[in-house]
Amino acid sequence: MKPYLAAAIQMTSKPDLEYNLTQAEDLIELAVRRGAELIGLPENFSFLGKEEEKIAQAPEVGLQTEKFLKTMAQRFQVTLLGGGFPYPVPEEPSKAYNIASLVSPNGDELGRYQKVHLFDVDVPDGNTYRESKTVKAGNDLPSIVFSEKLGNIGLSICYDVRFPELYRHLSAKGADILVIPAAFTAYTGKDHWKILLQARAIENTCYVLAPAQTGNHYERRYTHGHAMIIDPWGVILGDAGEEVGMAIAEINPDRLERVRRQMPSLQHRVFL
């Protein structure tokens, strides 16, 4: 593993597959022009709309999203994370999985994760979210994508960030980079997003790559933004703010090794 640039894309996705994929392609190309070799797209990057619309369109969205990820990874010769998109559940037509997929430069899927923690929350701003109504939770802990070039990558999605045991599992399996693509609500994001990401980086001495959604998507659906890249000491290396764009920063194996040597907390764990 040598130092390389990673990009956490920030989007304002809509209930419009074609619009979203065009926006994503433009941002991927921009990240490639800036030298990124690992590029992450946020949760719901290919479709962010009402739940009933998502379920109705899930077969088409899932098919086109997978095709898009493989095409973009091959065209730009990068490793590409599709941070979350609906994928139909054949035995339950009223639900879809929330899938994260990591694709190699040759178009092969390196890893796939079905979101296990579902966001069923009454937020104090008056919005109610019931992800479990239309999303079928995965049953398996995420696995590690091992890469000599990019480091070992652990997959997760959005609400997972509030469950540190998932990331402890990933670090115990050898993760160097934790990817946390999200569509974090505007209300919770202002208080919790940054500190949760830093905590996951610090306690696991891993880089964190956190693509994000931002702005207004439809009606009262607003997201926080601030796609970030954070180093193993908790230092914010890149913050996309509130506009469509990206955070881009270097992933450096020497920095990773130095932090783990200076703060060997993973070696001091008592309860595994």
Map the chain to HEC letters.
CCCEEEEEEEECCCCCHHHHHHHHHHHHHHHHHCCEEEEEECCCCCCCCCHHHHHHHHHHHHHHHHHHHHHHHHHHCCEEEEEEEEEECCCCCCCEEEEEEEECCCCCEEEEEECCCCCEEECCCCCEEEHHHCECCCCCCCCEECCCCCCCEEECCHHHHHCHHHHHHHHHCCCCEEECCECCEHHHHHHHHHHHHHHHHHHHCCEEEECEEEEEEECCEEEECCCEEECCCCCEEEECCCCCEEEEEEECHHHHHHHHHHCCHHHHCCCC
Q: Which entry of 37, 43, 54, 136 is annotated as an active-site residue?
A: 43
Annotation says 206 is catalytic: no
Alpha carbon distances (Å) from 172 to 63, 137, 206, 260: 33, 23, 11, 13
What is the per-residue pLDDT for 11? Answer: 98
- Provide the CATH topology of domain 4-268: Nitrilase/N-carbamoyl-D-aminoacid amidohydrolase (3.60.110)
Out of 54, 70, 115, 136, which one is annotated catalytic?
A: 115
Give the pLDDT score at 83.
Answer: 94
Predicted local distance difference test score (pLDDT) of residue 134: 93
Q: Which pLDDT value is given to residue 131?
A: 92
Catalytic, out of 70, 136, 158, 206: 158
Q: Sketch the domain layout of the chain as residue ranges.
A: 4-268
Q: Each residue's pLDDT tens digit in the chain (272 positions)?
A: 999 999 999 999 999 999 999 999 999 999 999 999 999 999 999 999 998 999 999 999 999 999 999 999 999 999 999 999 999 998 998 999 999 999 999 999 999 999 999 999 988 887 888 999 999 999 999 989 999 999 999 999 999 999 999 999 999 999 999 999 999 999 999 999 999 999 999 999 999 999 999 999 998 889 999 999 999 999 999 999 999 999 999 999 999 999 999 999 999 999 87
Instruction: Quote the pTM value.
Output: 0.95
